[in-house]
Structure 1
Amino acid sequence: MAKKLYPIGIQTFELIRKDNNAYVDKTEYVYDITHTNGKYFFLSRPRRFGKSLLLSTMKSYFEGRKDLFKGLAIEGLEKEWAEYPVMLLSMASAKHLDAESLQRYLLFLLKDNEERFGIECDAAEPNLRLANLIKSVCQKTGRPVVVLIDEYDAPLLDVAHDESRLSDLRNVMRNFYSPLKDCDPYLRFVFLTGITKFSQMSIFSELNNIVNISMQERYAGICGITKDELLTQMSDDIDSLASQLAITREETIDQLTSNYDGYHFTWPSPDVFNPYSLLSCFSEGKFGAYWFGTGTPTYLIEKMRQFGTLPSAMDRFYAPSSSFDAPTETMTDITPLLYQSGYVTIKGYDEDIDLYTLEIPNKEIRVGLYKSLLPNYLNTGQTQSLVTIAHMAGMIKQGDMDGAFRLLQTFLESVPYCDNTKYEGHWQQLMYIVFALLTHYRITVEQRTAKGRTDITLETADHIYIMELKFGSSADEALAQIKDNRYAEAFAMRGKKIVKVGICFDVNAERNITKWIIE
């Protein structure tokens, strides 16, 4: 039997269908969004989540390519297959540009479309060229135009932390998008995708009738692969992977879920898997950090530094609904960016008090993000840090928590001092990151119990370690706090052995763990 083809890095619907690549059917969503009220729509989803493929699918649909949709849901829904002129403008390659280069890039996109439709225009301003192109194409074809803009915010993301550069690029993009409102009589459908929302872009401030479908329940599964789609449309893929790894189907589903599932872009929502990682896993035949390996979130790390975001604060926190629509350049905390970028996701919603619960979605994101943050807390090579953590994980698996702490103590003795290591918050966050990177275990920080909050809780297959970290006092006091507050009672029903660990950390002379008591 021929090896199944997975469209890794292929974002063109036509190529996927013609080459018989694996395709998860999203055409019912395409039909729905193109037959609903409104003309202008915006969708925010993390990078490599299928936004480009969605727009390519829309392009083929509006061009009337009925042959490409054979056997898909839309084949039974669409009866007319009317053809419209389509302009697909991708900003994906407009990264790391100054204002002048961005202007040239926009003119290049427009020139390409002008040649496709046989339109001539020598205006030097992109906004004038776009307005002329839309009107001329509509008049020439006799049909209203479809405009699809992919990654509209790509030119701005890398400078989101730099207001002076952001302002220049934002002005260029504002002028470029401005004709869309005035061209309304010539347009059939306008759809933009991106990661973030920049409020001062005309597309959001002037085009006030644009519908943001990012958190609409009916479109919760429009990008990504839902649990139901995985279990039905990709059932054979699960069995094939299980066979390659010599594990059961159930174990395979559990591993796929813990690594790549967990996304919810509204509430309630189906479970959504990261499509890039899921398809890469099936293609490679092994579990890996595929999505995180495709790009370091530089702008996110910069914003976390700007807002003083602590790694431990991302484990579980709460936000009102207003937080999700906050503009990127005027946001007062990092919540919108963390959510829109896919580093945290919705895990629950309390309608009575209008609060969403947010957490890191899965193992792949947790490990990748904390690896990226580790250099901010250790003035040493990352490789040795990760080797130490890996050895610690092995010791804990063997039940040797004492050995794990001795190894960590020895490692920290070799870490060069830096300016920010004289206060306890630095070491508290470092300890959290170290334990969070013990990837085989479940780690929670400041877990709430009836009597207070535990500093760090580590759960293995058969043990639960409750850890209390003390700075400037003794390990005995740390252990006493665990006992006095009866933290262990919160875990008594888990059926696992509970181990209490009191830890003393000296931030002044030793700058290291000085003593720990395991009981």
Structure 2
Amino acid sequence: MARTVGIGHQNFEKIRLKNNFYIDKTHFIKEWWESDDEVTLITRPRRFGKTLNMSMLEQFFSVKYADRGDLFEGLSVWKDIKYRKLQGTYPVIFISFAGIKENSFVEARKSICRIVEEQYNKYDFLLKQNLLNEKETQYYEQVSTDMSDSTASVSLRTLSDFLSRYYEKKVLLLLDEYDTPMQEAYVNGYWDEMTGFIRSLFHSAFKTNPYLERAVMTGITRVSKESVFSDLNNLEVVTTTSNKYEDAFGFTEGEVFAALEEFGLSHRIKEVKQWYDGFTFGRIPDIYNPWSIINYLDKKEEGLYWVNTSSNSLVGKLLRESNSDIKRTFEHLLEGGKLVAEIDEQIIYEQLGQDEQAIWGLLLASGYLKVSQYETVTDEYGGWKKEYTLKLTNFEVKVMFRNMIRRWFSCVDSDYNDFIKALLLGDIDAMNDYMNGVSQSVFSYFDTGKNPSRKEPERFYHGFVLGLMVELRGRYVLTSNRESGFGRYDVLLEPLNPKDDAIILEFKVFQPKKEKNLEDTVEAALKQIEDMKYDAGLLARGITKEHIRKYGFAFCGNKVLIGEQL
């Protein structure tokens, strides 16, 4: 009989006591302990079992769970006598920053201090043990949501000191979702304040802490060393491309297929693989996101499970406001193409707005892109660099991005949909009316950044083309021929139904030195379609000239004029 699928459980004890569906990852305990690394940072995308594994570590090692070996009976770690003796023998501090999502530094700082205060409250029996001197007792009572920076910075190290004295053993420190406050700080504009506060806290807790036995931090991203880890030279960083712990987070394909068999769903393997396969950690491909698989086992139908557990606001903002090169590359990825890039797995948040590689690095760390291969190559200076070949992770991710792009036009949903209908019908007057409505409303939505300019509207063009790709999928194959030169972008729509016309679109920006008005720009666009023989491929595939429609789009700021070749 199949076990009960419990949605949303992140506490190891609860899952074990209720005999909920669980895939044994206790080999991670042995692998981590035997690595003997002092401070380990493990990055994985959200909903990949990070919190559950941290709960498992706490309940295996913590003295609070002494004599609770029943939680681990029947699991791989319990087969080793050495580890049976190790269970429940260390003081453990386990905290999570997952809930730090405030809009201001003041409130975020209070939330972090409150989390530390809660840890002190858990161990307030220390105040009654004649363990602390008068000054230490005074310090203990100063720990609160409003404590000073100096008190906060050493709070975790000081608690480690008190616990190691009481238990006569150094402390294990577990910090889950360490980078959530920093992501929120970047989005909400208090990055410098937050990183300064976190840096001092981490320095005393993880670097200059003589009472620390070992520590584990988890998060989505590897924040750059300069931001918060500047003095942490004892840090072992394990990213998605590292070989360590490669099967400890996420489900392997063998584990997924066994789960489908347990729940009588073996006949759905092909469907599950199409939707949810695709993550790669270290040397192991075909890793599946646990959240999607657990929801599939429960609901027995495909759906957007993992991608809908977050607003994806940062990713959406970066792509929407990105330059035309990034949007072009993203069009290629949505079409099933690949991206070859040099990726630095350290995320430098300050560069996300202007560094293309930083954006791809964030998408890789967040799980939206996967590494299909990477190699070390020689650069132009005789050094070496790592080049990654990246693709969209799986069908679930592709659908999520399609929905995101559709929402970009939600503010003018009616106009945009009406434009698509007019385009398909060949109604040039309606196309002009609706396209001007679209551009007036959403131009600034795409034309953003540090130096936005209505004279450089490529951001809008490429966002618009991404929208075409999404709305017309299943009816047309969209391809693009990207020409050099300012503001030009060619789109070919090849019909899947032979009864539909093929469509060629040429975008051009009004150039006052060459053209008198937008009508001249339209004529230049239509002439380019003819001169460059953009219809040659369509004609070669048997589509007649009578079934190829050609349109020139002329842009001047957010004004648009569309003309058709008759």
Tell me the TM-score normalised to structure 2 length. Answer: 0.72
Judge conservation of contact 2:323–2:459 (CA < 8 Å) in 1.
Answer: no
Q: Distance in 2 between matches of 1:49 and 1:388?
A: 41
1:88-130 CA deviation, whole Å, 9 max, x = no partner? Answer: 1111111115333333323322232223333341233222221
User: Aligned-pair distance for 1:13?
Assistant: 1.0
Q: Which amino acid aligns with 2:126?
A: I
Aligned match for 1:231, one of 223, 232, 257:
257
1:331-380 CA deviation, whole Å, 9 max, x = no partner? Answer: 53312222222222222223446310122212222222243244445651
Q: Give the equivalent residue in structure 2 for 1:397.
A: none
Q: Which amino acid aligns with 2:346?
A: D
Q: Give the equivalent residue in structure 2 for 1:417.
A: 440
Q: Give the equivalent residue in structure 1 for 2:217.
A: 192
Q: 1:218 to 1:96 in 2, by over 3 A?
A: same
Judge conservation of contact 2:373–2:389 (CA < 8 Å) in 1.
Answer: yes
Q: 1:440 to 1:236 in 2, by over 3 A?
A: farther
Q: Give the equivalent residue in structure 2 for 1:365.
A: 397
Q: Which runs of 5+ in 1 are unaligned?
A: 243-248, 393-400
Q: Which runs of 5+ in 2 are unaligned?
A: 128-139, 379-385, 445-453, 483-488, 508-521
Q: 1:502 to 1:53 in 2, by over 3 A?
A: farther
- For the pair shown, which has the larger CA radius of gyration, 1 or 2? 2
SS of 1:417 mapped into structure 2: helix
Q: 1:288 to 1:173 in 2, by over 3 A?
A: same
Asked if residue 346 in structure 1 is aligned to residue 353 in structure 2, the reply is no
Q: Which amino acid aligns with 1:33?
A: W
Q: Give the equivalent residue in structure 1 for 2:133.
A: none
Q: Give the equivalent residue in structure 2 for 1:245.
A: none
Q: Which amino acid aligns with 1:98?
A: S
SS of 2:388 mapped into structure 1: strand
Q: 1:269 to 1:418 in 2, by over 3 A?
A: same
Q: Which amino acid aligns with 1:324?
A: E
Aligned match for 1:298, one of 293, 308, 313:
313
Asked if residue 433 in structure 1 is aligned to residue 467 in structure 2, the reply is yes
User: Which deviates more from structure 2 when the two are superposed, residues 358-367 or residues 411-420?
Assistant: 411-420
1:159-192 CA deviation, whole Å, 9 max, x = no partner? Answer: 31455x1111222222222212455432222111
- Give me the CA root mean square deviation: 4.2
Aligned match for 1:356, one of 388, 391, 394:
388
Q: 1:466 to 1:424 in 2, by over 3 A?
A: farther
1:25-66 CA deviation, whole Å, 9 max, x = no partner? Answer: 222223212211312111112222221111111112213643
SS of 1:96 mapped into structure 2: coil
User: Aligned-pair distance for 1:459?
Assistant: 10
SS of 1:212 mapped into structure 2: strand
Q: 1:21 to 1:467 in 2, by over 3 A?
A: farther
Aligned match for 2:175, one of 138, 143, 149:
149
Judge conservation of contact 1:296–1:372 (CA < 8 Å) in 2.
Answer: no
Query: What does 1:203-282 align with in structure 2 at a 5 Å threshold?
Result: 204-214=229-239, 215-237=241-263, 239-240=264-265, 249=267, 252-266=268-282, 268-282=283-297
User: Aligned-pair distance for 1:446?
Assistant: 5.2
Q: 1:502 to 1:264 in 2, by over 3 A?
A: farther
Q: Distance in 1 between matches of 2:426 and 2:70?
A: 60
Q: Give the equivalent residue in structure 2 for 1:507.
A: 554
Q: Distance in 2 between matches of 1:437 and 1:344?
A: 23
Q: Distance in 2 between matches of 1:461 and 1:220?
A: 45
Q: Give the equivalent residue in structure 2 for 1:53.
A: 52
Judge conservation of contact 1:198–1:329 (CA < 8 Å) in 2.
Answer: no
Q: Distance in 1 between matches of 2:301 and 2:200?
A: 46
Q: Distance in 1 between matches of 2:166 and 2:477?
A: 62
1:413-444 CA deviation, whole Å, 9 max, x = no partner? Answer: 76463473985662343223332456669978
Q: 1:507 to 1:388 in 2, by over 3 A?
A: closer
Q: Give the equivalent residue in structure 1 for 2:506.
A: 470
Q: Which amino acid aligns with 2:49?
A: G
Q: Distance in 1 between matches of 2:285 and 2:7?
A: 24
Judge conservation of contact 2:199–2:229 (CA < 8 Å) in 1.
Answer: no
Judge conservation of contact 2:370–2:390 (CA < 8 Å) in 1.
Answer: yes
Asked if residue 133 in structure 1 is aligned to residue 159 in structure 2, the reply is yes
Asked if residue 119 in structure 1 is aligned to residue 135 in structure 2, the reply is no
Q: Give the equivalent residue in structure 1 for 2:514.
A: none
Judge conservation of contact 2:439–2:560 (CA < 8 Å) in 1.
Answer: no
Q: Which amino acid aligns with 1:288?
A: G
Q: 1:454 to 1:146 in 2, by over 3 A?
A: farther
User: Which deviates more from structure 2 when the two are superposed, residues 293-302 or residues 472-481?
Assistant: 472-481
Judge conservation of contact 1:31–1:77 (CA < 8 Å) in 2.
Answer: no
Q: Distance in 2 between matches of 1:445 and 1:78?
A: 61
How many pairs does the alignment contain? 483
Q: Distance in 2 between matches of 1:378 and 1:62?
A: 51
Q: 1:107 to 1:218 in 2, by over 3 A?
A: closer
Q: Which amino acid aligns with 2:77?
A: I
Judge conservation of contact 2:502–2:548 (CA < 8 Å) in 1.
Answer: yes
Identity of aligned residues (%): 22
SS of 2:160 mapped into structure 1: helix
User: Aligned-pair distance for 1:476?
Assistant: 9.7
Q: Which amino acid aligns with 1:173?
A: I
Q: Give the equivalent residue in structure 2 for 1:398.
A: none
Q: 1:138 to 1:385 in 2, by over 3 A?
A: farther
SS of 2:141 mapped into structure 1: coil
Q: 1:48 to 1:487 in 2, by over 3 A?
A: farther
Q: 1:15 to 1:236 in 2, by over 3 A?
A: same
Q: Which amino acid aligns with 1:426?
A: F
Judge conservation of contact 1:504–1:514 (CA < 8 Å) in 2.
Answer: yes
Aligned match for 1:320, one of 342, 352, 358:
342
Q: Which amino acid aligns with 1:317?
A: L
Asked if residue 75 in structure 1 is aligned to residue 100 in structure 2, the reply is no
Query: What does 1:88-107 align with in structure 2 at a 5 Å threshold?
Result: 88-107=94-113
